[in-house]
Structure 1
């Protein structure tokens, strides 16, 4: 055990020195202030840059170096990067390993650390995975290169991948570009910090409980949680291989909605099903895109509260801002009461961790830091059955908190027999939602908050680990969801009412609200979540575009962080 501990320390130090050395040895083209030509590149949407590359107006090397320069600034500010691939990317370009005639020609793309790039580790934040570079690119990277994109950095994440923070011993803690005291989100938090800062325009993350959506909400960028089968899942590493109760989905993120739309459409145009057997052979549906861009009057449902954690004033205000903008455009917007989101939280949390949290814990070395939220889950899972039973009784009947009691009561390792029962419950719940959407709500799209609060402070997931229902619900349902940043926390507008009393909240809500402070949070981004049904990526993106246009018409379009 002692040798294991010291090996862990050595491996972490080695990777950090390796990263630091790569940065300090970069040529001058990746350092210093931005010149006018570089600022021009940064100001262009990716489809314009692609056209410039196709026409030989702009060199892909110049685009790479420009975004590399800003990515290093983002790293200095937020510690968002893991692997630096700039010089390798230049070699790929020189060797014609990247197809510069593709739909993403010359566009640098950042990748969550869990995605395999040939010649680099895929540590996922565990020291045991370091020093083991992958021999070749994973399928996601193969497709990107064939499309003309240039993988140029990998980004930080939380060890275990089960947190809305992004910290581990190997790479350290990533901070929010708006406020260093807060998380950028997780598990794709390094990506969201980089995109929000302006060090990349497009990136790829993964989502099993909100991991591309919470970061977009926390940091102020855009993301799309695709349904399973629309994006590849091969060529990656994970903390929970074999976990299919709530499948993880790799999905796109971007600095702007325009870039997110173009990136998603371009990637799917590459026919990813020819690379990865798990992808459905579904072309991009241009007619669906057109129909939803042109439909004169949308029916939009609004889920304001999931019945577990009432949204904070900041998140409620952002949602209402979008509702008002849509109503002003003549759309039919109405509140809905869907099948119990709490039931989904129970089922999803149990089926996701049916292994008793054994798998993600199996990669830890002696003395390795565990994310505070994951540590809470692991500790509760290890609780002796009689103790759990007594604790559940105490919570339910003495504290009068059936919400938290229900979660604790069902938090134990499952046998295969028990897991199959959970899967049956999951499928029955999905059928219930489908029937409700089609026959009762009869809506085109659903709006919800992405989370009950804006970003949590560092280590806040110790208390807020269970407050993930607004995103986790749609992982269980496998619905397509998009995130649009709408506003920022306002210290005056978003204060809790004088009558607020956290002692009256259930355990999940109490943990979430423990860290809500509109004064300290002032300036943090606040987003909304746009939800369609399964495999409705074209529809969701089109409606997201219409929502942003409606906000823009009122002078309320989200203001991105300005690039230094």
Structure 2
């Protein structure tokens, strides 16, 4: 059996090996289970076909102007910062439909180049422009949405064939707020099946390409958002972050974001494949193409009093922060104790640190409470989410490469896992990986309570560390490596501590692009040797020559509920880099599929 599904410039191909695997499974089970598997497999094939056909139809029915070349007027609109665009709509110089049309055109080009879209809502968005609040704080702004977010009448299948065709019956809280503010949701964007990976892929929607270098991921799980924004098909979009799912795509794709603490941003009304998992919190928040755009949308959303739209949100108005009121102190975490930052990522971090020092800011190397210990606690807290996420997968359906690797560890029988851990600890002498693997399993409710207790004790250590060192910010890499090639998370699935740590702590953390990989500057020294299995998996795909041109970001971390302060920290660092001529002068995107640019 072999067939292909169109993916607007991509093909998802189901080869004979998938059928062979399915047939081998059939021979190992009883008749009733065989029938159930057969129906599951058929449902999977039908759902993939149906979703691909529906997405292509959403593109085909658009008026011809959306497929026409960009005009000078389109370019003018696309180049406007969000604040200026809003002013033009407020004053009547631009209509919301004109803005939608320009961004709709560009979004289609972004999709052709990167396969970033899952739902094209432009026909409905045209109706919404007629109802647009032209006096609102986001008047006329087209906003893209991660596929998880409910929009009435549209799927939020998040890559699961089983969820195809299950339309949302009402808008999510953030969609209601955005429309009341005058914004126009117009597309939804790709994610990885299970949402637990730094690359965005599923059999239903295919791979999302990095907009800078083909063959590499744009990140995950908000990868489609990052690709679309980096390409220019949207200036602002809404994603979510449970272990780095905003910050890693921002780092991989060269855009901006701030992961807020839980309770600062609306989250009600989304497709959640591991409901009830709150041991490490997930937050929604914007990604943006520029820092000024990020500030505009944050201020606008908070001005709408989001706590009136969602019971999760704390009633905290926007707080003005003046960083000049005290002498700032930056701590720098050069290494998490597990994976050494690559030459490219270390170079970006050094650039920020030296710039701050050159301008008289106090920057100190810190030795925080063990990030490895935090990672062990956090990874065990979410271990059961792996099983929850797998429940929705049909027979024959591909799991994410990272999750496939994780589930092999998760599903090992207890006795076999104990032998493997013994081998890792005493034969391989890899205490780091041994300590992780032995905790990856299902937990009883008593064990989960004990983990949450350990989490709180660990948070207390960080609270004391931050106060004792009188820190304003912590600076570190968002990930040790640039974007990995497609399928690379199979080897690097545990390479997430630099972001996951701050979800576990519930700290505010922002990411900004600083530079790009340079094949001449960022080659891996021949003397480099991986110190553990996690680091070995991360570095399996590091190749500065192949990665040349990929974006590199830096992460600025503040304490809990310090989103406004983190924003000001990002602004300070970017301003100093520009002042010194060290800001990356390359364009944010490389429009390889947009010849009219």
TM-score class, shorter-chain normalisation, is: over 0.9
Number of the residue aligned with 2:450 = 421
Cross-structure match for 1:308: 338
Give the alignment partner of residue 229 of structure 1, picking from 251, 255, 263: 263
Q: Where do 1:179-328 residues align within 5 Å?
A: 179-286=213-320, 289=321, 291-292=322-323, 294-295=324-325, 297-328=327-358
Report the counterpart of residue 22 of structure 2 in structure 1: none
SS in 2 for 1:334: strand
2:419 to 390, 398, 411: 390
TM-score by length of 2: 0.92
Deviates more, 1:209-218 or 1:6-15: 6-15
Encode CA deviations 1:202-259: one digit per residue, 9 max, x unaligned.
0011111000000000011111101000001101112211111112111111011110
- Which residue matches 2:394? 365
- Alpha-carbon distance between aligned partners in 1 of 2:451 and 2:561, rounded to the nearest angstrom: 24
- 1:38 aligns to 2:74 (yes or no): yes
The residue correspondences of 1:142-181 to structure 2 (distance < 5 A) are 142-181=176-215
Mapped to 1, the partners of 2:327 and 2:106 lie a distance apart of 41
Out of 445, 452, 471, the position equivalent to 2:473 is 445
Query: Tell me, which stretches of 5 or more residues in structure 2 are unaligned?
Result: 1-36, 592-596
Task: Provide the residue aligned with 1:534 in structure 2.
Answer: 560
DSSP 3-state at the match of 1:276: coil
Q: Is the 8 A contact 2:228 2:234 kept in 1?
A: yes
| Residue number in structure 2 paired with 1:51 | 87
- Cα drift, residue 181 of structure 1: 0.8
Secondary structure of the 2:426 match is helix
**2:362 maps to which residue?**
332
Tell me how far apart the structure 1 counterparts of residues 142 and 542 of structure 2 sit (CA, whole Å). 36
CA contact (8 A) 1:354 1:419 kept: no
State the partner residue of 1:92. 128
Deviation at 1:155, TM superposition (A): 0.2
> 1:372-421 CA deviation, whole Å, 9 max, x = no partner?
11111112111011111110011111111000010011111100000000
Partner residue of 2:112?
76
**Contact 1:124/1:238 (<8 A) preserved:** no
In structure 2, what is the Cα distance between the partners aligned to 1:265 and 1:478?
21
Q: Deviations over 1:254-284 (max 9, x none)?
A: 0111101111111111101011111000000
- With structure 1 as the length reference, what TM-score do the two structures score? 0.97
Asked whether 1:487 is paired with 2:487, we answer no
* Aligned residue among 142, 159, 166 for 1:132: 166
Q: Distance in 2 between matches of 1:209 and 1:380?
A: 19
Partner of 2:569: 543
Instruction: Find the counterpart in structure 2 of residue 456 from structure 1.
Output: 484
| Aligned 8 A contact 2:333 2:476 in 1 | yes
CA contact (8 A) 1:297 1:330 kept: no
RMSD in angstroms over aligned alpha carbons? 1.0
Match of 2:544 in 1: 518
- What is the rounded CA distance, in whole Å, between the counterparts of 1:349 and 1:136 in structure 2? 33
**Cα distance per residue 1:288-320 (max 9 Å; x no partner):** x2x12x346321110010001010000000000
Tell me how far 1:101 sits from its aligned partner: 1.4
1:400 matched to 2:429? The reply is: yes
Q: Deviations over 1:522-542 (max 9, x none)?
A: 000000000000000110001
Q: What secondary structure does 1:509 align onto? A: helix
Per-residue CA deviation, residues 459-492 of structure 1 (Å, 9 max, x unaligned), is 1111100010000000000000000100000001
Which of 417-426 and 23-32 deviates more? 23-32
Q: Which runs of 5+ in 1 are unaligned?
A: none
Question: What's 1:3 paired with?
Answer: 39
Find the residue that maps to 2:175 and give its secondary structure: helix
Residues paired across the two proteins, number: 554
Displacement of 1:329 after TM fit? Answer: 1.9
| Paired position in structure 2 for 1:553 | 579
For 2:337 and 2:169, the matched residues in 1 are separated by 48
Q: Secondary structure at the match of 2:384?
A: coil
User: Shift of the alpha carbon at 1:562?
Assistant: 5.2
Q: Which residue of 2 aligns with 1:101?
A: 135
